Amino acid sequence: MAGRHIAPDTPELRERWDGFAFTAANKAAADKHIAKYPEGRQKSAVMPLLDLAQRQVGEETDTQGWLPLPVIEYVAEYLSMPVIRVLEVATFYFMYNLVPVGKFHVQVCGTTPCMLRGSDDIIAACKKRGMDFGKVSEDGLWTLTEVECMGNCATAPMVQINDDNYEDLTAERLDAVLDALAAGEQPKVGTQEPGRHTSEPANALSSLKEMVDANHDYRGDW
């Protein structure tokens, strides 16, 4: 996560994004989020509003989206919050991109279970296609980021690409997923292990076997 920084506040950035405003649909969605909170607590909606703003930037740039400073300022004004408070949220949570990303943001988990199951090979496969950490590839398609545990350890190694997770990866399986995305197709999400549906045991059941047929009370076994 080192190297996380906001994009410089330049005249070009201002020229492109100073006029940012929610679309009618996003304004309606934003107001619906705000209405969930009591009067005077509208700032509680800051996270979904930042997410809406990031997605709108994504639609306008055909990328996964990011948060230019003027867009963060727009959200702050929308919620009557000091800009620094919104900036604190945007910079704290990794789900917000602070610099431009590609059409597909490939977030590779490199934490221990994924590392032991081959995340180095997954990163190498990404780099082989021209991806580099924190950079947009020349064709504008990819940005590579290494992240911490995404909660899919039972189906490690895994990557999150935009809103979807791809699990039980090998370099070859990842290549197939990336080829499909590059071709404009939607690959199967979740586990890529043939015959596996979610995170159930990949082979035969090896633990808690008595639970299969009955609500077995294990306390006597301890």
**Using CB under 6 A as the criterion, which residues of the chain lie in contact with ligand FES when the complex forms?**
109, 111, 113-114, 149-153, 156, 158
Q: To the nearest whole angstrom, how small is the minimum distance from the Cβ of residue 117 to ligand FES?
A: 8
Rounded CA-CA distance 167/189 in Å is 8
Q: To the nearest whole angstrom, how small is the minimum distance from the Cβ of residue 55 to ligand FES?
A: 24
Judged by beta carbon, residue 113 or residue 190, the one nearer ligand FES is 113
Q: To the nearest whole angstrom, how small is the minimum distance from the Cβ of residue 162 to ligand FES?
A: 17
The CA–CA distances, whole Å, from 105 to 18, 187, 190 equal 25, 15, 16
Q: Which of 202, 141, 201, 145 is nearest to 177 (CA)?
A: 141
Judged by beta carbon, residue 111 or residue 170, the one nearer ligand FES is 111
End-to-end CA distance of the chain: 41
Q: To the nearest whole angstrom, how small is the minimum distance from the Cβ of residue 19 to ligand FES?
A: 40
Rounded CA-CA distance 173/184 in Å is 17
Extended beta strands in 94-179, E state: 104-109, 142-147, 159-161, 164-167
Give the dihedral of Cα atoms 210, 212, 216, 221; nearest 10 deg: 30
Judged by beta carbon, residue 81 or residue 115, the one nearer ligand FES is 115
Q: To the nearest whole angstrom, how small is the minimum distance from the Cβ of residue 126 to ligand FES?
A: 15
Q: Which of 156, 149, 158 is nearest to 1 (CA)?
A: 149
